[in-house]
Amino acid sequence: MSGRLVVCPTPIGNLEDVTLRVLSALRDADVVACEDTRRTRVLLDRYGVSATLVSYHEHNERVRAVDLVARMRDGAVVALVSDAGMPLVSDPGYVLVEACVAAGLAVEVLPGPSAALAALVASALPAERWRFVGFVPRKAAERSALWGVEETLVAFESPKRVGATLASLAAVDPERPAAVCRELTKIHEEVVRGSAAELAERFSSGDVRGEIVLVVGGAAAGSADRARALEALEALVEAGARVRPAAAVVAQLTGVSANELYRSSRSSGG
User: When comparing pLDDT for 200 and 238, which is higher?
Assistant: 200
Model pTM score: 0.79
| 75-119 pLDDT per residue, tens | 999 999 999 999 999 999 999 999 999 999 999 999 999 999 999
| 153-168 pLDDT per residue, tens | 999 999 999 999 999 9
Instruction: Give the pLDDT confidence score for residue 154 in this predicted structure.
Output: 98
52-65 average pLDDT score: 95
Instruction: Give the pLDDT confidence score for residue 268 in this predicted structure.
Output: 58
Strand order across the beta sheet in which 177-182 lies: 130-135, 152-157, 212-216, 177-182, 190-195
243-253 average pLDDT score: 85
Domains of the chain, start order:
4-113 (3.40.1010.10), 114-270 (3.30.950.10)
Q: Which residues of 202-239 are buried (b: 16+ CB within 10 A; e: fewer)?
A: ebeeeebeebbbbbbbbbeeebeebbbbbbbbbbbbee
Distance of alpha carbon 164 from alpha carbon 88, whole angstroms: 27
Distances 213 to 11, 115, 144, 162, 216 between C-alpha atoms, Å: 15, 7, 18, 9, 10
- Grade residue 225 by pLDDT with cuts at 50, 70 and 90: low
